[in-house]
A = this chain, B = another copy of it.
Amino acid sequence: MATQSSTLVKPLGKQRILEAAIAYADEHGVEMLTMRKIADKLGCGVMSLYNHVANKEEMLVGMVDIVAGEIELPQVNDDWKGSLRASAANAHKVLLRHKWAPAQWSLRMPGPARIRYMDAILQVLTEAGLEPKLVYSGYHAVTMHIIGFTLQEIGYLQVLDADFDELANEFLKELSGDFPYMAEHVRAHLNEDCCGSDEFGFVLDLILEGLERIDH
């Protein structure tokens, strides 16, 4: 009855594969992502995937590029700092939806959406009138912050829910003796006041305002 020609069977296609892969990685982490698992999820054989994707590496590149495409591009207006701040905050939100992405971001070839995104950031810095050297360094500083800060945050979140009990009990006590500053920092993390404040934005402003000041 439900033959292959049935309209109920959606065609495969690269887009549908990447979306399934992203959904799986969002839920289970990228280290659990498997060609076979994606195939199962899509209800097809493993090898069918290879009609639309050269290999797993290309798939990961495609996945990262879709995430890059979800980020709102910074607007080109007279408030370059505000524009970058808004876009970075959005990127931060998107990356926290796809916790596997930051670790993949820097290490893989950029796809078209990511190149588009990089270009937009550079355009804002250039159009702001910053001198070339500051456009160059400012770009590195801003993108490093978006990926690096979020990666660190995700790492912290993962360590947290991996073993919160050991951390809060044995860990913090043993820490206090040998590493008092570390213990104090962990205590600050566990406090509500610190989590409430916009750490991501605060550090980004350190960078943006530093750039503006140097540029006279």
Contacts and interface: CB of A to CB of B under 8 A. Distances in A.
Identical chains bound together, number: 2
A15 interface: no
A106 B151 contact: yes
Contact of A202 (B108, B137, B151): B137
Q: Which among A106, A122, A199 has the highest number of chain B CB atoms within 10 Å?
A: A106
A211 B207 CA distance: 10
Contacts of A103: 103, 106-107
A37 B21 CA distance: 30
A152 B136 contact: no
Given A119-B181, A182-B115, A206-B206, A144 B145 contact: yes
20 contacts: A110-B159, A118-B179, A118-B182, A118-B185, A119-B181, A119-B182, A135-B185, A137-B202, A137-B206, A139-B185, A140-B199, A141-B206, A144-B144, A144-B149, A144-B152, A147-B152, A151-B151, A206-B210, A209-B210, A210-B210
